[in-house]
Each structure stands twice: as structure tokens, then as C-alpha cells.
Amino acid sequence: MSTYSLSDGLASGAPRLSRAPLLGSWVRESGIGILASVAWIAFGLCCLWWEDVGDWSRTHSLGIAAFVIAAVALFGTVGADYLGPAGRALRQRAPWLVVLGVFLTLWEVATAKFAWLPLPFFPPPQSIIEVYTDDLPKLLDSVFASVKLQLGGYLIGATVGFLTGVSIGWSRAVGYWVHPVLRFIGPLPATAWLPIAFFTFPSSWSASTFLIALATGFPVTVLTWSGVASVSNAYYDVARTLGAKPSFLVLKVAIPAALPHVFVGLFMGLGSSFAVLVVAEMIGVKAGLGWYLQWAQGWAAYANMYAALIVMSLLCSGAITLLFSIRDRLLVWQKGTVKW
Amino acid sequence: MVASAALAEIDAHRAAGAALDIEQVSHAFDIDGAELPVLSEVSISVEPGEFVALLGPSGCGKSTLLRLVAGLDKPRSGTLREDEVRITRPHPSRVVVFQDPTLFPWRTVWDNVALGLEAQGILKSQRHRVDAALDLVGLSDFRTAYPHQLSGGMAQRVALARALVNDPKILILDEPLGKLDSLTRITMQAELVSLWQRKGFTTLLVTHDAEEALVLANRVIVFSDRPARVKADIRVDRPYPRHRGDPYLADLRRQILGLLGLDATW
Ligand SMILES: Nc1ncnc2c1ncn2[C@@H]1O[C@H](COP(=O)(O)OP(=O)(O)O)[C@@H](O)[C@H]1O
Ligand SMILES: [Mg+2]
């Protein structure tokens, strides 16, 4: 084929030019990996070289871990061609590894070694590691409690919101009764209900579930409703001439057409329900990451607070990622969707 | 050939055309309290299997008439009958292909074509009809594609397959080729005629193109300005396939353009 002969010709001309560009591309592709490994070695050396100004038990392990990461970064990027997708992924993330290594080095030096930052408020990396190793059971309990509360409230809120939204969008009678209630109560921040909810509900857990469901339900309802209401009549006309009954129009036309809107509502609901979750845990529920934060503050255990914050942000980000991947699966038919 | 096998498949449950009687139909819309008359005592009697083209100035009420025939709206006065049965609501024996393909973007091509059978609850036993309809419009290779991956002509062919899979007795076409490029248009005109000849459904085609009407139809009905009334009802007795250069058709075309008030330019 003609394309083959064309590329053959290019290949035979290549060797004469190759040396300099090859070196250049090698430096470009592996140089950042080497830089990353230098940054992490620096971090490791900082850990081990100077004495800590305080009493932290994980400094030594952290230094060793930094050297291990440096080695992985070095061999992983230089040998990326032999490592397949993992190597490529590592190479692609190498610039971030550099930044992270530099940041950790500065953090280490500024806190544990010279205490440039005031100490109890700015704990060094090793003290946060220490929380993860020494306070793990309590942290895991808190994670479990938060996830359980959040998941229950969110699922209830999303389901009720979706059903309400579809009903208002579809039925004038339902709209007549529900719309004013929605307008009156919906915009109120769910946290405003906290004091009432905690003494009217039988348990603080059920009260928080209700509040999280409320925070989720409002945006989901409004966006589902607007999604259903904005479905083009042309779709209904087509379906009706093809013999569709009302149930088909709702389930197979209105809902799928409204789904992109519904997901916007689900994302907004997720965001506002996180806020309610944390506040509810801080104020009423005696478990969960919000409570852990509160507890750590009470003991001035700042490292525990940072550790819990990191876990919390991983969880929230994980939840968003999960929702994005569900959306991508359900809305494959849409073009140009945002990648999270 | 695949296409002829597909045709045989569809011929197996062939539905011959239905008669359509439009009697003294008038219709109007309320716009800001004022009444806008759109159809004025329109009477048309269509024989089973006829191919009728409707021509008229833009905005005169052609689409409105088609919606009444489809049963999507009810006329202010007058009656419409399909095979002596009064039309009161949509029915899959009368299927519309609109100017925009209005494919459901969340469904694949196959699922779009399957829509009618699914809505009627008979898809499980009739899946082969969907495959046959897709073969018929030559889009079998695109069964898993989504509408946004299709060209305009392909999307309109899918819309046609979605209509044909129901074996309509009356096929209602509202400027279905209006937005296509001229080449695709000519190809699809030929496809339409051959489909109609094989399957024998009654066809009602709205078009703004006199030439298209003459190449396709047995009968061309010309409407007046809004409110539409029947201005002329012209038989086109020429065998198919027809040629655009046919002097007989050219003569009719001049007549029709005259009726539409365009004689000066032609
Ligand atoms: N749903 C509607 N409500 C109000 N006016 C309408 C509606 N549908 C059509 N009309 C008006 O009726 C007239 C005829 O429209 P239509 O039947 O679409 O014309 P056309 O002959 O171009 O297909 C137009 O003036 C249009 O503005
Ligand atoms: Mg029209």
C-alpha cells in the first residue's frame, strides 16, 4: 500500500538525524522524572539530616518512604517504555511528583526542623502520618459513620426529589399543591432546621438523615422538574403518533430527556449535603468525621484535624467521582461532557 | 441482496393504504386573544394508495392540516376519517415524518427505529422488523450509533425507518427532505417512490418544492394563502420513474407556480 512505502522511505532516511533528537526527547521524557526523584530524595534527607524540634515517632519511617518514592519515580519514568500503561501514567504525573516533593520538603523544613511556622497549629508531615497509624481505629469508625449517614440521607433525598420533580413536571394538579411548598421551604438552608430537627426527631441520627435528605432533595426536585418541563413537544408528538401511552411518555420520553438536568441537581445536592453532614456531626451526632474534627479541636490535636480533613476531602472527591462515572455511563449519548 | 430480503420481510405484513376523507375542516389558533384562522373549509378525499402532494405558501396551514390528520390536534370544525373511522387521536396506522428528524438523542439508531413497536408493546416478538427497516434505508451498519453521530441525510433516513417499521396505512410527510442537500434529496425521492410502490401505503407529502411534488405524486393539491383553502387539485398521470426534464411535468410546474403567484419569474 502507498502509505507503507511512504513511511518506509521516511524510516530509511531517519538514522542520520536521529542522535540529537533522541537525546532531546529522552531528556524531555525522563528529565522530569529525575527531577521528581531529586525532590523526594531532598525530602527524605531533610527528614533524616536534622534533628526534629519536637517529639515525633514517624520521622525516620517517613524519610525511608521518601527514598522509596524517589526510587519508584526514577526507575518508573526512565524505564516507562518497559512498564506499559503504569509507566505512561507515572510519566504523565511526574510534574506533580516534583511539585509534591518540593512542597513536602518545604513543609518539613518549615515545621519539624526549624519551626518557622508556629508549632501546634502547623504540624509536620510525620505527625499527620502518626495520626493515621496510631489513631486509625477511631478514624475508621468516624469514616464509616459519616459514609453511612451521608449515603442514607443522600439516597432518600435524591429518590424523593426525583419523584417529586417528575410529578410536578408532569402533573398540573401535583404542581399546584407542591410548587408553593417548594418555593416556601426549598430555599431555606437545611442547617436552619438543625435545632428543631434535633429535638423533634427520635434520634440525632434520624434528624441528620432528614436534613441531609432535605439538602439533597431541593436541588434535585427543582432541576428534575425543569428538565421534565423543558422536554420538547416534538418528542411527545413523535411518540404519540407511534402509539405511546402516557406511561411510556413519562418513563421513556420525559425522564430520559430530563436526565442531564437531573444530574446537575444531583451534583448540587451532593455539595450541599456534605455541608449539612459536617455541621450535623459537629453539633448533634456523636460520630463521624465532623465529630472527629470537633473532638480534635477540643484537645488542640491539630495533626488529627489535618488528617481528618484530608480523609474528608478524599471521601467527598470520591463521591463526586462516583457520581460522574454513573453519569458518564447513563449519558453516553451526550457529546462533549466534562471530564472530572 | 440484503435490501430485497428486507423488503420481502416487510411485505410479509404489508398493510395496504387506507382511504382518507377530510371534510369541511376549518381550524384556527388563538394568539393573544385574537383568532388566527388557519384552515378554511378544506375538503380532500384521498383514495387508498394515492400519493398526494400538498403545496402552498409558507405559513398557510399545511403542517396544521397534517397534525389534524395525524390526530395530534382536533379541528375546530369538520371531520377527518381514515377508512370511514373518525380520527380523534394519534394511531400508529398514521405515522408522521417531520421536517426535523427528531430522533431521540438518548437512544441508538436501532432503539429509535424500535420506538413504535416498543410503545405498542410488541417489540419482543417483532425485533426482526426493526432490522428489516434499517436494512431498507441502508443503515444496518449504524444500528449502535447515536443520533449525534449521523449526518442530516442519515438521520432523516432513520426517521423514515422509524415510521415504516410500523407498517403505516397512511404515511404523513411534512417537508421531510426540506433540509437535505440536493444530491441526497434526489436519492431519497427515488427511495420514497420505490417504497411507496412496493408497499402501497397512502402518502401525504407537504413540500415547498413544486418539482419534488411533480416527480413524486399522483396528485398535487395547491393551497391558497392563510387561511388555507384548496385552490387547485391536479392529477399527475405519468409513469414512474419520472424525469425532471419531462415537458409535461414542466408545463404542470409552470401552472402550479402561476397558482402560487410566481408566474412573473417563470
Ligand atoms: N400551535 C400554534 N399556536 C399558534 N399558532 C400556530 C400554531 N401552529 C401554527 N400556528 C400558526 O398557524 C399558521 C400555519 O402554520 P403551519 O401549519 O405550520 O404553516 P405551514 O403551511 O408553513 O406548514 C402560521 O401562521 C403559524 O404561525
Ligand atoms: Mg410546515
In a domain, A128, yes or no: no
Cβ-nearest to A243 among B67, B92, B105 = B92
Q: Are residues A102 and A154 in the same domain?
A: no
Q: Are strands B51-55 and B34-46 parallel, antiparallel or unpaired?
A: unpaired
- Residue pair A226/A170 in contact (Cβ under 8 Å)? The answer is no
Per-residue pLDDT reduced to its tens digit, A175-212? 999 999 988 988 889 889 888 888 899 988 899 999 99
Residue A206, in any domain of the structure = yes
Which chain B positions have a beta carbon within 8 Å of A245's beta carbon?
Answer: 119
CATH architecture of B2-265: 3-Layer(aba) Sandwich (3.40)
Q: What is the CA radius of gyration of chain B?
A: 18
A325 and A295 within one domain: yes
Whether residues A114 and A173 fall in one domain: no
* Ligand 1 atom nearest to B58, measured from its CA: 22
**What confidence tier does A287 reach under pLDDT thresholds 50, 70, 90?**
confident
Cβ of B64 below 6 Å from ligand 1 = yes
Share of chain B above pLDDT 90, in %: 54
C-beta atoms of A333 and B115 within 8 A: no
Span B207-232, pLDDT tens digits: 988 889 999 999 999 998 888 889 88
Q: In the prediction, which pLDDT does B153 show?
A: 86
Pairwise pLDDT comparison (A182 vs A155), residue with the higher score = A155
Q: Does residue A123 lie in a domain region?
A: no
B91 to chain A nearest CA, in Å? 6
Please report the number of interchain residue pairs, chain A to chain B, with beta-carbon separation below 8 angstroms. Answer: 70
State the CATH number of the domain containing residue A314: 1.10.3720.10
pLDDT tens readout for residues B100-139: 999 999 999 999 999 999 999 999 999 999 999 998 888 9
Average pLDDT for A246-265: 94
Measured distance CA(B253)–CA(B266) in Å, rounded = 10
**What is the distance between the alpha carbons of residues A87 and A79, in angstroms, rounded to a whole number?**
7
- Give, rounded to a whole angstrom, the gap between the first and last alpha carbons of chain A: 42
Cβ contacts (< 8 Å) between B116 and chain A: which residues? 242-243
Question: Do A152 and A75 have their domain in common?
Answer: no
Mean pLDDT over residues B184-213, rounded?
89
User: Ligand 2 center to residue B111 CA distance, Å?
Assistant: 27
d(CA A334, CA A311): 33
Examine the domain organization and report whether A322 and A240 are in the same domain.
yes
Specify the ligand 1 atom closest to the Cα of B57: 21
How far is the C-alpha of B15 from the C-alpha of A130, rounded, in Å?
A: 79
The reported pLDDT for the residue numbered B102 is 93
Q: Which one is predicted more confidently, A266 or B152?
A: A266
Residue nearest to atom 23 of ligand 1 (CA): B63
A290-304 pLDDT tens trace: 999 999 888 988 989
Nearest CA in chain A to B168: A242
B25-59, pLDDT tens digit by residue?
Answer: 999 999 888 989 999 999 999 999 999 999 998 88
Q: Which of B104, B108, B120, B173 to mutate to test the interface with A (most CBs of A within 10 A)?
A: B104
Are A26 and A111 in a shared domain? Answer: yes
**Span A37-64, average pLDDT:** 89
Instruction: Please tell me the distance between residue B65's alpha carbon and the centre of ligand 1 in angstroms.
Output: 10
Number of domains in chain A: 2
Q: What pLDDT is attached to residue A180? A: 92
Cβ–Cβ below 8 Å for B106 and A331: yes
Residue A23 within a domain: yes
Q: Report chain B residues touching chain A, CB-CB < 8 A.
A: 67, 70-72, 90-92, 94-96, 98, 100, 102, 104-108, 115-116, 118-120, 146-148, 162, 166
Res B15 pLDDT > 80:
no
Q: Using the 3D structure, point to which of A118, A144, A159 is the last residue of a domain.
A: A118
B31 pocket-lining for ligand 1 (C-beta < 6 Å): yes
Same domain (yes/no): A234, A324? yes
The answer to whether position A195 is within a domain reads: yes
A87-129 pLDDT, tens digit each? 888 888 889 999 999 999 999 989 888 888 887 889 889 888 8
So what's the pLDDT on residue A338?
A: 61
For A243, the closest of B96, B102, B116 (CB atoms) is B116
Max mean pLDDT among A45-49, A239-243, B135-139, B244-248 falls in: A239-243
- Is the pLDDT assigned to residue A269 strictly greater than 50? yes
Residue A129 within a domain: no
Identify the band that residue A19 occupies on the pLDDT scale cut at 50, 70 and 90.
Answer: low
Nearest to B96 among A241, A243, A334 (CB): A241
- Judged by DSSP in three states, A18 sits in helix
Residue in the block written with cell 426540506:
B178
pLDDT at B13 over 50: no
Residue that finishes a domain, picked among A90, A118, A146 = A118
Structural domain including A206 reads: 136-330
Contacts of B166 in chain A (CB under 8 A): 242-243
Residue identifier of the C-alpha nearest atom 24 of ligand 1: B59
The answer on A103 and A163 residing in a single domain is no
Q: What is the per-residue pLDDT for A58?
A: 87
How many whole angstroms separate alpha carbon B64 and alpha carbon B70? 10
The verdict on A79 and A228 lying in the same domain is no
Q: How confident is the model at residue A339 (pLDDT cuts 50, 70, 90)?
A: low
% of chain A beyond a pLDDT of 70: 92
pLDDT of residue A12: 46
B90 CA to middle of ligand 1, Å?
Answer: 19
- Nearest chain B CA: its distance from A331 CA (Å): 7
**What is the ipTM, given to two decimal places?**
0.88
| Within-domain flag for A335 | no
With cut-offs at 50, 70 and 90, classify the pLDDT of residue A146. Answer: very high
Cβ pair B100:A234 closer than 8 A: yes
pLDDT at A2 exceeding the cut of 50: no
| Spacing, Cα B62 to ligand 1 middle (Å) | 8
Ion ligand 2: residues, Cβ under 5 Å? B 63
Q: How far is CA B149 from CA A27, B108, B182, in A?
A: 41, 10, 21
Based on the domain organization, do A45 and A187 belong to the same domain?
A: no
- Band of residue B14 on the pLDDT scale cut at 50, 70, 90: very low
Q: What CA–CA distance (Å, rounded) separates A158 from A164?
A: 10
Domain shared by A266 and A293, yes or no: yes
**CA–CA separation, B76 vs B65, rounded Å?**
12
Model confidence at A253: pLDDT above 60:
yes
pLDDT reported for residue A21: 67
Domain boundary among A54, A89, A118: A118
> Is A126 inside any structural domain?
no
pLDDT at B202: 94
Pairing outcome for strands B219-223 and B230-235 = antiparallel
pLDDT of residue A118: 86
A212 and A113 in a common domain: no
What are the extents of the domains in chain B? 2-265
CB contact under 8 A, A241 and B100: no
Q: List chain B residues with CB under 8 Å of A237.
A: 67, 70, 72, 96, 98, 102
